[in-house]
Chains A and B, each alone.
Chain A
Amino acid sequence: MTTTKIQSASTVSPAPTGTGSRGTKVLGGFALVFLIIAVVYGLFISPPDAQLGNTIRIIYMHVPTVMAAYLAFIITAVSSGMYLWKRTEFWDLLGSSGAEIGVLFFAVTIVDGALWGKVTWGVFWRWEPRLTTSAVLLIMYIGYLAVRAIPADPRTRATRCAIIGIVAIVNVPIVHKAVDWWRGLHQGKTVLGTIDPEMGGTQLFAMYSALIAGLLVCVWLLIHRFRAGFLAERASDLGLDQALEERRLESSPATGEDA
């Protein structure tokens, strides 16, 4: 109970419980700068695309969020493997932080993808390969978070999550291939989620600054989430010495219960 309180409090305002540091402040500063550049160039300075018109501005957001989500899930996968090898809390916390941040970015990806679809096709959802893949993967990682939320022995919970983290990432290329072929039967590829090589200078600049901003925000969130998780673990450990003491005291007063 207390653990969730600490987590949410410190994610929202890092300073008082100490998930922030000089490093994260610098990182956050850079993220903010690139975000502002991306917004200014993406929304105002860059011209509309020759084919896509103004909808290209959604793609400036879409590509970074999907990239950030994949980055987070790759971190989760690597951490899961490392956890099963090293069995340290570090890898467990990093893995679960990655999954949480990844789900967040994937959810945003699907929303901005659907918005793009509404503007471009007139419908929120088409069975576009990338969107479909994202939807399947999102649910897969929601499953990860569901298992994570089940109270359990820390080692048990970490092992379960590590296994899901590995099983899930392996599925990503397979889902992608399957969905690609499946849609390939019916329609050509769409440009959603790809960087068009014919983009002009300011368009490209907007795209890359958005991409850098997205990845920086992802890493920044990840570090904070990791530290919040770490503090939560320490908070639950606080009770351990006391629990040991209490446990030993059980023996003195009421020994003769059934002896």
Chain B
Amino acid sequence: MSAIVHLRSAVALIGRFPALAGVNLDVHAGEILLLRGPNGAGKTTLLGVCAGLIGLSTGEAVVLGEDLTRNRRAVRRRVGLLGHDSFLYQDLSVVENLDFWSRAAAATVADGRAALDRLGVASRLFELPVHSLSAGQRRRVSFAAMICRRPELWLLDEPHAGLDSAGRDLVDGLMSEAATSGATVLFASHELDRAEHVAHRSVTISGGVILDETPPSTETRADS
């Protein structure tokens, strides 16, 4: 089986600080992998590397078949990243943001609307500027802007943060659905009871390295 994400001895520097200090990680197609670990462990950097945003200083990284040490740009359009930042223009309305970001990613405006629908963003919010939304609503809009690109690899940094329980259920549902339909999900979370429920497998990252590398076969990989 070819891995969707394949990292070997990956070292990534943020300035001169080694945020990743030799990561070995494989994520397989259709898998939902939970990335756990304390603050500052390197979770966000790892997601950034997989998205092709952060380069490696040494090591191997192949994501979606693209060798990131050669070309980091090719993979970008095929991944969706939900980060700490909203990735939204605060002064534009919800639909204006979605229109822009869907067209920027070569999706259609209709994809954007469908994604908003899918995230349960009420249509009364559509014309409001993003800065007037609550944190949870904004998170849903960011999520919509991510999935309208139909990414093959989902990279989610704390996807549950700031959401109410309905929102969290929705996110869990979306992740499972994405995995069933062939996408792969890598997400970082501190909400372990919830996250472990939806994840097929989990690994712990700390001090810039993966601690427990459990092969997917031994873990309770959902048979259903």
Contacts and interface: CB of A to CB of B under 8 A. Distances in A.
20 contacts: A152-B15, A153-B13, A154-B16, A240-B18, A243-B18, A244-B22, A247-B17, A247-B18, A247-B207, A247-B208, A248-B208, A249-B207, A250-B206, A250-B207, A250-B208, A251-B207, A251-B209, A255-B204, A258-B190, A259-B204
Interface residues of B, number: 24
A198 B188 CA distance: 78
B224 interface: no
Interface residues of A, number: 20
Given A255-B204, A255-B206, A255-B211, A247 B38 contact: no
B18 A244 contact: yes
A259 B38 contact: yes
Contacts of B181: none
A240 B190 CA distance: 30
B11 A244 contact: yes
Contacts of B39: 257-258
Q: Which 10 A-B pairs have the closest CB atoms?
A: A250-B207, A251-B207, A251-B206, A257-B38, A247-B21, A247-B208, A247-B18, A153-B15, A244-B18, A248-B21
B37 A259 contact: yes
B209 A248 contact: yes
Interface in B18-37: 18-19, 21-22, 36-37
A236 interface: yes
Interface string B33-49: 00011110100000000
Interface string A227-259: 000000000100110011001111110110111
B37 A243 contact: no
A88 B17 CA distance: 20
B214 to A, nearest CB: 15
B174 interface: no
Given A243-B17, A254-B38, A255-B206, 14 more contacts: A152-B15, A153-B16, A240-B18, A244-B22, A247-B208, A248-B22, A248-B207, A248-B209, A249-B207, A250-B207, A250-B208, A251-B206, A258-B38, A258-B39
A255 B18 contact: no
Contacts of B13: 153
Contact of A255 (B14, B38, B55): B38
B14 A153 contact: yes
Interface string A132-155: 000000000000000000001111
Contact of B192 (A249, A252, A259): A259
Contacts of A259: 36-38, 192, 204
A257 B43 CA distance: 15
Nearest to B19: A247
Nearest to B208: A247
A236 B190 CA distance: 34
B145 to A, nearest CB: 26
A247 B41 CA distance: 9
A243 B57 CA distance: 14
A236 B17 CA distance: 11
A243 B16 contact: yes
